[in-house]
Structure 1
Amino acid sequence: MDIRQLIDTSRMTSYQWFIIGLACFLNALDGYDLVAMAFTSTSVSEEFALSGAQLGWLLSSALIGIGLGSLLLAPLADRYGRKKLILLALSIDLVGLTMSALADSYGELLAWRVITGIGVGGILACVTVVVAEFSNLRFRGLAIAIYASGYGLGAAACGMLAAQFIPDYGWRSIFVIGAVLTAAALVLTIFTLPESVDFLRSQGRDEKVRSIAHRIGVREAFTITPAGPAPQKSSLSEILSGPYLSTTIRLWIAFSLITAAFNFANQWTPKLLTESGLSAQQGIIGGVMLSFGGTIGSLIFGALTTRIDARRLLTVFSLLSAVVLVVFISAASLPMIMFATGVAVGMLLNACVTGMYTVTPQAYPTALRTTGVGSAIGVSRAGAVLAPIVVGYLLDAGWSPTALYVSAAALVSLTALALIGVREYTAPREAQAPVPASVG
C-alpha cells in the first residue's frame, strides 16, 4: 500500500492528534491577532481621534495582509515545504505584533497590522493543508474542525483579556500578549512539527518520508508513489487553466462571500452593538459570544462530516447563517436573547469557514493543494477587506446596524449558489496516488 493510502486508511495515532492540536493552537493565535483590533478599537479610536472610515481601514489592515500572505507565501510552500513557510509566517507575525504594540501613530499602526496579516495569511494557507495531509479519511473533517475551532477560542480569549487588561494597562498590552504567545508557538513548531509527507514524496525524499512515517506511528510496510513534481514556478497559473478553472473560480467566489460576512460580524459587532444602544461592555460581551459560538460551530461541523458530505453541509449552514444574522441584530433591544443568538451567529459563520477549509484542499492534487488553498484565502480577502471598510463609510453615511446586518445576510446566502458544481479532485490512477477524499 502507498504511504498516502496508508495514512488515509489507518487509525489516527496520538502524534497525529498532537499535530492537529498544534494546528488548533496556531489558528487560535490567528484568531487572537485578527480580532485584537476589534476589541481595542474604542481605545485606539479615542487615542488617535479616528473617524468611522479610518477605523474601517484599520480593521481591514490585517485582512489586506492576509491576502498578500496567502497569495505570495502559499505557492512557496508547494516549492520549499509546509514547515519552512509556517516558520517564516510565524516570524513575520511576531514582528508585526511587536511593532503594533510600539506604534505611536495611526499610520504606523496601520502598516504594522498589514505586516501582521501577511504572517497570518501564510499560516492559514499552510496549516490548513498540513491538517488535511496528516489526518485519515474517517476523521479528516473532524480534524479540520478542531483546527478551525482554534480561531474562536483565540478570538474569545482576546475579548476576555481586552476586558481585563485594557482598563489597567491600555490597548497596547493586547498586542504584547499576542507577541509573547506567537514567540512560544514559533519555538514549539520548530521542535515538534514534521514536514508534510506529501510534499517530501513529491520531492523524491523517500528516506525522510520513511522517517516521518515512523514518527507518526506507521509500522506497516508501504511503498512511496511520487505525488508529482513540485512546481518550479508559481503554480497559480495552473489552477486558473484546464480542468481546475471552473472549480477555482467557484471556490474563490464562495470563500469571498463567506469571509466578507464573517469578518464583518467579527470586526464590527462590538462597535455596532454600542451604536444600537448597548454599553461598551455589552458590545464586548456580544463580540465574545460570537467568538465562543465559532468554536462550537467548527466542532459541530466536523462531527457532522463523519456522516454528511461536507459540501452539502456547507450549503445548509450558509443558508442558516443568513437567517440568524437578521435575527441577531433584530434582538439588540433584548440583550439576553441577543447574546444567545450571537452564539448561533458565531457558530454558523465559523462552521461555514470550516467548511471552506474542508472542501478547498480536496479540490486539488497534492502539488497544487497549498496554492489552491492559499489563492482562495488570498482572493477572498477582497471581500473580507472591503466589508469592514465599506461598513465604516456606510456608518458615517447614516446606515443603521440593522441594514448592515441584513446586507451581510444577503451575501452569505449567495454562497450556496457559488458552491454548485464544486467537486473533489480524483487523480488518474496511473499518474498519482489518491488525493484525500471527503469524510462522509
Structure 2
Amino acid sequence: MRVSRSPTDVIRQSPMSVYQYAIIALCVLSYASDGVDVVTLSYAAPALMKEWGISAETFGLAYTATPVGIAVGSFFLSPLADKVGRRTLTLWLLGSLVIMLFLTAVSSSLLMLVTLRLLTGVSLGALVVCLNVTVSEFSNEERSNLLVGILHTGYSAGGMVCGALAALLLEPLGWRALFFAAALLSVVSFVLSLFVLAESPMYLVARRPANALQRLNAIFRRMNKPEFDSLPPAPETVAGGRKGRTIIPRALWFGTGLLCLAGFVFTVSGGFMASWRPKLLDMAQMTMTWNGIAGVCTHGAGIFAHLFVGALARKVGERKIAVIFLIGMGLAFTLLGMVPDGAIVPLIVASTLSGFFNVGAFTAIILVTLNYYDASVRSAGLGIMLGCSRVGGIVGPLLGGFAIGAGFGRFWTLFLFAVILAIPVVAAIYARSRATGAPVPAHA
C-alpha cells in the first residue's frame, strides 16, 4: 500500500513498530555509554592524581575540559546532523569516542589527558543532540515524551555501570583499566549502530540525498509502514529558506534571566558534585570498592528521580517540586559533609540522597522552563537556559578544585555549594511573566 501523507505524519500517528523500539533502545544504550564516558574520570581521579603527583587545583583543568568540549560540540558540531544526516554523524561521533577513550587509557601527561577529555567532550556534546533528535523523530506522538525521558535515564544508568566497573577494576587493575572498559562499551554501541541504526526519514525528505526515496521506503518497510511513490515535498523552512528569527518577547526577559540564573547556579553545584563526589568520599576514607558501590547507588537514585519528578510535577506543580528538590539537594550536600570519616553506610546513604535530589532538581528546572514559555518561543527559551547551565558545569568543577586544594575540608566545601542553591530556589519561585504574572502551560 502506498501513502500520500508525509513521513512525519505517518510516524507520529501510527503505532510503534518493533524496529522503532530497537532504535530507541540503541539510543538509550549509546546514552548510557555517554554516562560512562563522562564520569569515568571522576572515579579515576584519586588514583591518577596520586600516580602523577597532581594537585586538586591543577587536576580541575581535566574536569573542566569535558564540559567545555560538550558546550562546543552542542553549539558547533551538532548542526552537521542537519547536513550530513543523523546516522552519519552519530557513527562518526561514536567512532571518535572509541579512539579518544583508548588513547586516554594510555595517556602519560596532564596535557594529553586534558586534550583528550576536551575532544571527548566535543563528541559527547554533539552525540547527545543526535540521540535526542533521533528518538524524537522515530517516536509516535503518544509515546514521544515518555521515550525521550527514558533516553535520559540512560545517562544515569551509565553512571551506575561506571560505578560498578570502578568497584571491580580500579583497585586490582588501576585507573587505565577503567578507560579501556569504557572504550569497549562504546565499541559495542558503534557496532550495533552500524547495523541497526537507520537514517532519519525527516532528514531524507528535507535534504534529499542520493537515493533518498529508496532509502526512505526501505526504512518504512522495516517499520512495517506503507511506502511512498515519490518523495513528499520538503519542509517549507528548507525549501524556501528561513522566513524570520524567533526572539524572546520583552515581557519574558525578566523571567528568562531568572531561569538562566537558576540553571547556571544549580549546575555550578551539580557539576561540582558530579566531578568531585568520588574524591570527596575518598577524603572520607572510603575505599575505591565502596566508592564504586556508592556510585551505583547514587546514579541509580538519579534514574528514579527522573521518573519520580516526571510523575509528580503535574500534580504538585513544576515550580513547587523544583523548590523542594533544590532545598533537598542543599540538605543532602550538607549531610554528606557532616557524616564522619569511615562511616561507610551513612556516607553511601548521603551520597545516594545527593544524587536523587541533584538529578530531580535538574529535571524540575527543565519542566519549569518548558512551562514558562508558549510554543512559539519554548525551544529558544529552553536552549538559552541550558546554554547557561553548560557554563555552570564548567565553573563548578574548577571552583571545587580550588576549594579542596585550599584546604576547606569536606564539610565546608560541600556547605559552600549547598548554600548557593538558595539562589536558584528564589529564582524558581519568582520566575514568571511580568505580562501575565503566571507561566504559560507547556501544552499551549
TM range (shorter): 0.7 to 0.9
1:186 equivalent among 183, 190, 210: 190
2:96 equivalent among 87, 92, 96: 92
The answer to whether the aligner puts 1:297 opposite 2:305 as a matched pair is yes
Residues in 2 aligned to 1:197 and 1:318: alpha-carbon distance in whole angstroms: 40
Contact 1:252 1:380 in 2 (8 A): yes
Percent identity for Structure 1 against Structure 2: 26
Contact 1:125 1:377 in 2 (8 A): no
In the TM superposition, residue 316 of structure 1 has moved relative to its aligned partner by: 5.0
Contact 2:33 2:158 in 1 (8 A): yes
Residues in 2 aligned to 1:241 and 1:154: alpha-carbon distance in whole angstroms: 35
**Cα 1:39/1:225, change in 2 over 3 Å:** same
What TM-score does the superposition give when structure 2 sets the normalisation length?
A: 0.79
2:32 equivalent among 28, 35, 44: 28
Partner in structure 1 of residue 16 of structure 2:
12
**Residues 263-296 of structure 1: per-residue CA shift (max 9 Å, x gap):** 2222111211232454454444333321221222
**Cα 1:365/1:328, change in 2 over 3 Å:** same
In the TM superposition, residue 239 of structure 1 has moved relative to its aligned partner by: 6.0
Partner in structure 2 of residue 432 of structure 1:
none
**Cα 1:183/1:48, change in 2 over 3 Å:** same
2:338 equivalent among 319, 323, 330: 330
The answer to whether the aligner puts 1:216 opposite 2:220 as a matched pair is no
1:151 equivalent among 129, 137, 155: 155
Partner in structure 2 of residue 385 of structure 1:
394
Residues in 2 aligned to 1:360 and 1:210: alpha-carbon distance in whole angstroms: 38
The answer to whether the aligner puts 1:348 opposite 2:357 as a matched pair is yes
Contact 2:167 2:293 in 1 (8 A): no
Partner in structure 1 of residue 437 of structure 2:
none
Q: Secondary structure at the match of 2:115?
A: helix
* Counterpart amino acid of residue 115 in structure 1: L
**Residues 310-332 of structure 1: per-residue CA shift (max 9 Å, x gap):** 77755654444334333343345
Deviates more, 1:189-198 or 1:261-270: 189-198
Partner in structure 2 of residue 272 of structure 1:
280
Residues in 1 aligned to 2:286 and 2:31: alpha-carbon distance in whole angstroms: 30
Contact 2:31 2:154 in 1 (8 A): yes
* Counterpart amino acid of residue 147 in structure 1: L
Residues in 2 aligned to 1:90 and 1:250: alpha-carbon distance in whole angstroms: 36
Structure number with the bigger relative contact order (C-alpha 8 A, sep ≥ 6) is 1
Larger radius of gyration: 2
Contact 1:70 1:122 in 2 (8 A): yes
**Cα 1:187/1:355, change in 2 over 3 Å:** farther
Residues 363-374 of structure 1: matches in 2 within 5 Å?
Answer: none
Deviates more, 1:117-126 or 1:87-96: 87-96
Deviates more, 1:340-349 or 1:314-323: 314-323
In the TM superposition, residue 238 of structure 1 has moved relative to its aligned partner by: 4.9
Deviates more, 1:155-164 or 1:77-86: 77-86
Contact 1:70 1:118 in 2 (8 A): yes
Q: Secondary structure at the match of 1:268?
A: helix
Partner in structure 1 of residue 438 of structure 2:
none
**Residues 242-282 of structure 1: per-residue CA shift (max 9 Å, x gap):** 79995986765554344333322221112112324544544
Residues in 1 aligned to 2:367 and 2:204: alpha-carbon distance in whole angstroms: 22
Contact 2:337 2:412 in 1 (8 A): no
Aligned pairs, how many? 423
Contact 1:306 1:439 in 2 (8 A): no
Residues in 2 aligned to 1:304 and 1:402: alpha-carbon distance in whole angstroms: 32
The answer to whether the aligner puts 1:394 opposite 2:398 as a matched pair is no
Residues in 2 aligned to 1:214 and 1:315: alpha-carbon distance in whole angstroms: 48
1:140 equivalent among 116, 140, 144: 144
2:268 equivalent among 260, 264, 269: 260
**Cα 1:187/1:283, change in 2 over 3 Å:** closer
Residues in 2 aligned to 1:392 and 1:45: alpha-carbon distance in whole angstroms: 12
Deviates more, 1:89-98 or 1:115-124: 89-98
Q: Secondary structure at the match of 1:229?
A: helix
Residues in 1 aligned to 2:11 and 2:414: alpha-carbon distance in whole angstroms: 43
In the TM superposition, residue 183 of structure 1 has moved relative to its aligned partner by: 2.1
Residues in 2 aligned to 1:231 and 1:319: alpha-carbon distance in whole angstroms: 49
What TM-score does the superposition give when structure 1 sets the normalisation length?
A: 0.80
Residues 164-179 of structure 1: matches in 2 within 5 Å?
Answer: 164-179=168-183
Structure 1 regions of 5+ residues with no counterpart?
423-436
Residues in 2 aligned to 1:134 and 1:305: alpha-carbon distance in whole angstroms: 26
Partner in structure 2 of residue 72 of structure 1:
76
Residues in 2 aligned to 1:316 and 1:190: alpha-carbon distance in whole angstroms: 43
In the TM superposition, residue 413 of structure 1 has moved relative to its aligned partner by: 5.2
Superposition RMSD on alpha carbons, in Å? 4.1
Contact 1:310 1:359 in 2 (8 A): yes
Deviates more, 1:293-302 or 1:310-319: 310-319
Residues in 2 aligned to 1:319 and 1:232: alpha-carbon distance in whole angstroms: 49
In the TM superposition, residue 376 of structure 1 has moved relative to its aligned partner by: 6.0
The answer to whether the aligner puts 1:37 opposite 2:41 as a matched pair is yes
Residues 415-434 of structure 1: matches in 2 within 5 Å?
Answer: 415=424, 417=427, 420-421=431-432
* Counterpart amino acid of residue 98 in structure 1: F
In the TM superposition, residue 341 of structure 1 has moved relative to its aligned partner by: 3.5
